[in-house]
Amino acid sequence: MSSPNDPPDDEPRSSHRGMIPREDLPFLPQIKWRFWAPVLAILVAFPLVWGIKRDREAQRRRQQLLREHAALTASLGPDYRSLRRFIEASAMEAVGPYAGDLRDPALTMDGVARAPALYGRVRVHEVRRPEDVAASIRHRYPDQLMSCLGVEPVAARELLDKGAFLLPSFVDAVRAAPSAERLHALREDLIFRLRRDTGAIVGAMRHRYLVLAVDEARASVDGPTRVFVYDLAARRLVLRARGAGTDVRVIPFQIAGLPSAPPRARAPLSGESVSGHDCSVANDVRRGLGVEPMGMLNAPDAPPPAVTDGGVPATADAQP
């Protein structure tokens, strides 16, 4: 027997009994899919299309820049890379065990000093691979060797740095550039370097000799220095010499009318100074070339110490 409040058996049971159907609620928004579906599709597709367009533009600029680089460096690049490989290979050999003095009979001091020469200086502990040579040459340590030799130097570090755009690493940077903006910057850099540095690179490559100094110690004054001279046209070694850097005294002097140096600086400097060390090594190079070393060979002897009337040196304490 059922109660009076029970629904009839034929009335369908609903889980939302007593609730108003959603479609009959006027305050709920109605999504117009016919309008929003295209808008959402555009919002999703636009970044994809823009990215594809940028990638295509970057790829176009990349291929264009690679073609321009190959065309603009075709006449200079191979010779530069060949010279750079020779410098690196020569330095790698030079930092190895010293093989003894050597001199090409045709080489003379006048021949070396007649024109400027490429010059670089490295230290043994800094060079382990060919890639280390340029970094060691760039260090710009205090250096008087070429001045003592009387040879005008042309810095090899400038040749190595200015010719960087001629190396495969520049092409690798172009291929790895992530955007058209980066490729534009690389192209501007290429044009700038071609205009600014081509003349200097060509001029440096025309020098006949390369002079390479190799310090055996971590500081030049703390050990011997090797000097190598290479004939760049023939790509061969023509001089190998080594000096301890300990047999030269650099004596400062004063020019009349100019301010004098502090008393400490007027004392003779031993080979432990950069100038004394490098001029000593330069003299060993001169000997290797059959030339008399530079020095004050006719300098007068130091005057004897002054004495007092009693025959006691003036520097000693006189007794009353």
| Tens-digit pLDDT profile for residues 15-53 | 555 666 666 656 556 666 666 667 676 766 667 766 677
Whether the per-residue pLDDT at 289 is higher than 70: the answer is: yes
pLDDT, residue 11, reads: 53
Contact 83, 205 (CB under 8 A): yes
The length of the chain is: 320
Choice between 220 and 192, residue whose per-residue pLDDT is larger:
192
Residue 179, classed as helix, strand or coil, is coil
User: CB neighbours of 193 closer than 8 A, spacing ≥ 6?
Assistant: 162, 165
Nearest to 189 by CA among 204, 176, 168, 174: 174
Q: What's the whole-number mean pLDDT along residues 160-164?
A: 94
Contact 221, 281 (CB under 8 A): no
Whether the per-residue pLDDT at 10 is higher than 80: the answer is: no
Cβ neighbours of 213 (radius 10 Å)? 23
Instruction: Give the pLDDT band (50/70/90) at residue 297.
Output: very low
Choice between 162 and 251, residue whose per-residue pLDDT is larger:
162
In the chain the beta strands, taken as DSSP E runs, fall at 102-103, 117-123, 153-155, 209-215, 225-231, 236-243
Whether the per-residue pLDDT at 158 is higher than 90: the answer is: yes
pLDDT, residue 166, reads: 96
| Per-residue tokens: 232 | 């760049």
Residue 250, classed as helix, strand or coil, is strand
Q: What's the whole-number mean pLDDT along residues 207-233?
A: 94
The whole-chain average pLDDT of the chain stands at 81
Q: What is the pLDDT of residues 142-151, one digit of tens each?
A: 889 999 999 9
Q: How far apart are CA 219 and CA 224, in angstroms?
A: 10
Pairing of strands 236-243, 225-231: antiparallel
Any idea which residue has 């340590």 for tokens?
Answer: 141
pLDDT, residue 91, reads: 97
Q: What's the whole-number mean pLDDT along residues 244-261?
A: 61
pLDDT, residue 114, reads: 92
Helix axes of 168-176 and 180-205: crossing angle, nearest 10 degrees: 170
Q: What's the whole-number mean pLDDT along residues 289-304?
A: 62
Greatest distance between any 2 Cα atoms in the chain: 157
Instruction: Give the pLDDT band (50/70/90) at residue 302.
Output: very low
pLDDT, residue 317, reads: 44
Cβ neighbours of 159 (radius 10 Å)? 25
Instruction: Give the pLDDT band (50/70/90) at residue 263.
Output: low
- pLDDT above 90 coverage of the chain, percent: 56
Q: What's the whole-number mean pLDDT along residues 306-319?
A: 50
Q: How far apart are CA 138 and CA 33, in angstroms?
A: 68
Any idea which residue has 């899919």 for tokens?
Answer: 33
